[in-house]
Amino acid sequence: MTKKTVLVLGGTGRTGSHVIDKALDAGHVVHVLARRPEAVAKKHDMLKVFKGTPENADELDAAIAGCDAVIATMNNARASDSPFARIVNSPTLLTDIFGNVVAAMNEHGIRRVVQLGATGAGDSFEAAPWIFRQFIKRTNLGVAYSDHEGVEAVLVASGLDWTVGRAVGLGKKTGTVTESYVVAGKSAPKPSMQIARESVAEWLVAALDRSDLYSKTPTISVI
C-alpha cells in the first residue's frame, strides 16, 4: 500500500474512529477535521487534528492542504438511532459539504476520494432487502438516503477518482468484505444484511489504492 496523507471527514463518528485507526495502522499520515477536536480520542505522531467543519470552506482548506486523498464517513444525523427520529441537520447537508470537498480537492490537486454510502441508494434501491426499502420509503431514513444520492451525483459530475462503498446495515458482523454490484435489478453476489463498522473502515482504507474501484458504487457486506 502506498503511504499517503489522508483527510478523514467524520472522524469523530462511530465508523470514522475506526477509519483513523486503520489508516494509521496502514502507515498513513492522517488529518482529521472536527468541530470538537477533543472528541478525537486517538493520540499518534502521524495524526493531526484540525478544528472546524467541512461546511466552512476555509476550515476545510486548512485541513486538506498537503493531503493525497480523502475518506468520508459522515452521515445526515437524526436525533437518535430510531429511523423515525427527526433530522437534526439540513436535508442536503452531505450534498452541500461534498460541493466544498470537490472544490477543495480540485484546488489542491487531489484526485482520490472514498465515501461511505448506504445500500438502497441510487440504483441499489430495488436490489436492497424489502425491509430496507420500507424504512427508506416510510421513515426519516429517506432523507438521509436522498442526501447520499446527492453526494453520489456530485461525485459523478466531479471527474475525480471517486468510490462510494454502499454499506449494508451497520452491526457486529466482522470478516472479509464482499463487494456486490447491481445487475439486471439484483445485487450479485447477494449481500448479507450486516457489516461491522471496523470491517467497513478496513475496506475504506484499502480502497484508497484500488484503481479498479474508480467511479464505482459497490454494496459492501460480510458473508
Average pLDDT over residues 176-184: 93
pLDDT bucket at 78, cuts 50 / 70 / 90: confident
* pLDDT exceeds 80 at position 1: no
Please tell me the predicted confidence (pLDDT) of residue 184.
86
User: pLDDT band at residue 175, thresholds of 50, 70 and 90?
Assistant: confident
Is the domain spanning 5-222 CATH 3.20.20.80? The answer is no
Are 56 and 33 in contact by the 8 Å Cβ rule? The answer is no
Phi/psi-derived region of residue 134, left when phi > 0, alpha when psi is between -120 and 50, beta in every other case: alpha
Q: C-alpha grid cell for residue 176?
A: 472479509
From residue 119, alpha-carbon distances to 5, 111, 129, 190, 217 in Å are 28, 24, 9, 12, 9
Matching residue, cell 478544528 = 51
Q: Where are the domains of the chain?
A: 5-222
pLDDT for residue 62 is more than 90: yes
